[in-house]
Amino acid sequence: MIQTYVCHFKLGNFYSKPVQKPRPFYVNHTVRPLVYIDYSRPNSLYTATNSPYNYILDTISLYVKGLRSSLPIELFRFGCVDTRSHSVAPIAHNSSLKAAYQKSLKEVTMSGPICFQPIIDSAVSSLQPDYFTLAFILLSGRSNSPSQDALNLIRASNSPILFIILYKEDFQIERLKQIQKRRFQNVLTFNFTKNVQTLRDFLEENVGESLKEIYALKMLTKNGENETVEMVQERFCEDV
């Protein structure tokens, strides 16, 4: 059990009181992290050295390192001229996502508009069933096909993939959380124009719960209907 200690001062006397933190129940299950970066034309607003993408990529790197069972991060670009309507393209990197992103800005011709279909197709087609896939999507533009995005996300909910959309304030993304007919809530959204410094807390508070739901549905599919979601989720916690 993980414990932290909060210090209290009372009448000049120092004492400590243990405070239990939520169990990080997902860390022992192997995670495959994918990062997709929007290279549509609005992204040019963020090519300066103070781009919020720099902070976001550093935060994702640190968060993934905190998962004890994680594959190396795979980095991709979409929305640029050569990937606009059909696929995404990989970005080579050694260790620093931020350095790879900054280098690629000098080599990529931006375009737009964008849609999610290439990203979802990329994540699903390269699926490794024994792993949970975290697909981080950095967006600064608007989708040109919200209805198609909804259909793609419904289909993707049959796979153990969680999409984490990090978006600009004017990107109307909240409606994606209301899509019906999905097997689970496979989208988390974070508005990075409000307070990007809270991203790490957001990930730690939300990703684990979503992965637990994915695990439950995966095991129910595998074992049939003899168990409830609650029973499988409880076993998921015990596994760790």
First to last CA, the chain: 11
d(CA 121, CA 175): 21
- Phi and psi angles of residue 56, each rounded to the nearest 5 degrees, phi first: -60, -45
Q: Would you tell me how many other CB atoms lie within 10 Å of the CB of residue 159?
A: 16
pLDDT of residue 17: 38
Q: Are 163 and 187 in contact (CB under 8 A)?
A: yes
Q: Which domains does the chain have, with CATH numbers?
A: 25-202 (3.40.50.410)
pLDDT of residue 34: 94
Alpha carbon distances (Å) from 67 to 71, 202, 235? 9, 15, 19
Average pLDDT for runs of 10 along the chain of length 240: 34 36 51 87 59 88 84 84 62 82 77 73 81 88 76 83 83 68 80 85 89 72 48 42
pLDDT of residue 82: 58
Helical H segments across the chain, by residue range = 52-65, 97-105, 117-125, 146-156, 192-195, 199-223, 229-239
Own/partner pairs for 145-148, CB < 8 Å, 24+ apart?
145/115, 145/117, 146/172, 146/175, 148/115, 148/116, 148/117
Q: CB-side exposure of 69: number of CA atoms within 13 Å?
A: 13
pLDDT of residue 27: 46
Length of the chain: 240
Alpha carbon distances (Å) from 15 to 12, 18, 21? 10, 10, 19
pLDDT of residue 5: 31
d(CA 197, CA 195): 5
Say which amino acid occupies 149: D
pLDDT of residue 112: 62
Q: And the tokens for 20?
A: 């239990």
List, in sequence order, every residue forming a beta bridge with 31; answer none if it has no partner.
70, 132
Collapsing DSSP to helix, strand or coil, 236 comes out as helix
Q: Are 135 and 164 in contact (CB under 8 A)?
A: yes
Collapsing DSSP to helix, strand or coil, 80 comes out as strand
What's the pTM value of the predicted model, to 2 decimals?
Answer: 0.76
pLDDT of residue 239: 40
Q: DSSP characters for 19-63?
A: EEPPP-TTTTS-EEEEEEEE-BGGGGGG-STT-HHHHHHHHHHHH
**Which residue, among 186, 34, 30, 29, has the nearest Cα to 123 in the 3D structure?**
34
